[in-house]
Chains A and B, each alone.
Chain A
């Protein structure tokens, strides 16, 4: 689905991502691991258009997407979450969810005046779906709370829910379980697995190897911006290059 070829991005003199090639074809849940500062988030930023690559190309469903702005990526079906959750703190949980659906009629200034019934219908459908997802995430009780009143873990769950609301073809999760308590980690994993059953594909940056082993089919390992290994999680764990990268 995502095809990265010879991607390079440098900041100043240092290469954050260096000649990196990754193919996610035919995979449902792929993992991206590597020591701190190995360029994982930079890679995500490149894929989602927050950064422009220096060279190389990124294809999504066959077409070039590198260099486009993030909103184009979302429209194409590529949604991500952030390492430090970026919910809208001054909006309610439900409003956060309602923001995500793509191509909303009510977001067009012109349609507001002429297609009100359709907007109402879309809104109520989205609302219903949002409440369903919130139920799965255990956030129903909090739906009319401002997002800033949620705990950090709940915010990360909300961010996942919001990503799902967009009905994306691919979700990029940046450390979904970092810094949240074990109960919420369980909710997070189960949500991901449940969505996998429904055919949702994911690309996940994750530090917690237990989580990686549980959910990922295939893992890519970055070190100093270069892909040093890829394979099934169990294989990767034993790979001497990977062990060296983490220890050295």
Chain B
């Protein structure tokens, strides 16, 4: 392969990774916007999404991929709802430290539950690796083609949902001001539930795509949480399009970065970007009381 197409391939890989990070980041930033806290267990939704698909494709179900995706995503959505119902709703008005530690605990619980059922080993969905098709001198596997297509579909769907539907309007109102939205008669409960479902499904889709492209293991969630977070930080917290852009940037930076540094540090690039952004920011005093 000549060097130009080598670089183009790197960029393409960056975009592919970026699409997946964008899906994670959009879900994370959505919950932050509506409920004003970082869901540390978001990574576990990513991971469980991938494992749910594994569950339905393996015996006793043995469903084909295209069928198994439906119950897998449905269950991921339910997991998001269950998290809210059992943990976050009872402590919605508690202080931030409480919320955060609870989210952390939930993350530990879910991650180890996956390890308990499926073991710590790296798994795949058991597809044979299909040779990529060549396209303008670049290699693109079916999965990778699907990543781009699905991300585009998700972005359009999120756009329609948020900016063209009544539900989206009330969710946006909610993220502007929870109390105000409540008094102005918006069904906050329904909007919050919807936010959880959307966030979880986006995480599940991203997790499945990632697992299809690479593999699944119980730690995949937590590793990607940091990247999703860095992406939301780039794009401005609570901003959906910012998250999309941030995700793509992180993906590109990682893939271009490994041309220059050891691949062992690939997962650290997002963190370094995050630190650089932070260094440029002034210190902002917390406006509200912490308790």
B-binding residues in A (CB < 8 A): 50, 69-70, 86, 89-90
Contact of A69 (CB < 8 Å), options: B285, B289, B291 = B285
CA distance A75 to B291 in the complex (A): 26
What class of interface size applies to chain B in its complex with A? under 10
Residues in A whose Cβ lies below 8 Å from that of B285: 50, 69-70
Residues in B whose Cβ lies below 8 Å from that of A86: 289
Closest-by-CB residue of B relative to A70 is: B285
Distance between A84 CB and nearest chain B CB, rounded to angstroms: 10
CA distance A90 to B291 in the complex (A): 10
Distance between B282 CB and nearest chain A CB, rounded to angstroms: 9
Pairs across A and B, CB under 8 Å, 7 listed:
A50-B285, A69-B283, A69-B285, A70-B285, A86-B289, A89-B291, A90-B291
Residues in A whose Cβ lies below 8 Å from that of B283: 69
Residues in B whose Cβ lies below 8 Å from that of A89: 291
Q: Give the dominant DSSP class at A's interface.
A: loop
Count of A-B contacts judged by CB separation below 8 Å? 7
Closest-by-CB residue of A relative to B287 is: A50
Closest-by-CB residue of A relative to B289 is: A86
Chain B 264-291 interface residues, beta-carbon cutoff 8 Å to A? 283, 285, 289, 291
Distance between A53 CB and nearest chain B CB, rounded to angstroms: 15
Residues in B whose Cβ lies below 8 Å from that of A90: 291
Closest-by-CB residue of B relative to A71 is: B285
CA distance A89 to B283 in the complex (A): 25
Closest-by-CB residue of A relative to B283 is: A69
Residues in A whose Cβ lies below 8 Å from that of B291: 89-90
CA distance A69 to B283 in the complex (A): 9
CA distance A50 to B286 in the complex (A): 10
CA distance A89 to B95 in the complex (A): 14
Closest-by-CB residue of B relative to A89 is: B291
In the complex, the 6 A-B pairs of residues with the closest C-beta atoms, listed nearest first: A70-B285, A50-B285, A69-B285, A69-B283, A90-B291, A89-B291
CA distance A102 to B111 in the complex (A): 49
Distance between A158 CB and nearest chain B CB, rounded to angstroms: 16
CA distance A86 to B289 in the complex (A): 9
CA distance A50 to B289 in the complex (A): 14
Chain B 77-118 interface residues, beta-carbon cutoff 8 Å to A? none
CA distance A70 to B285 in the complex (A): 9
CA distance A97 to B60 in the complex (A): 69
Residues in A whose Cβ lies below 8 Å from that of B289: 86
Closest-by-CB residue of B relative to A49 is: B285
Distance between A89 CB and nearest chain B CB, rounded to angstroms: 8
Distance between A147 CB and nearest chain B CB, rounded to angstroms: 13
CA distance A69 to B285 in the complex (A): 9
CA distance A69 to B291 in the complex (A): 23
CA distance A86 to B283 in the complex (A): 21
CA distance A86 to B285 in the complex (A): 15
CA distance A228 to B291 in the complex (A): 39
Closest-by-CB residue of B relative to A86 is: B289
CA distance A147 to B125 in the complex (A): 60
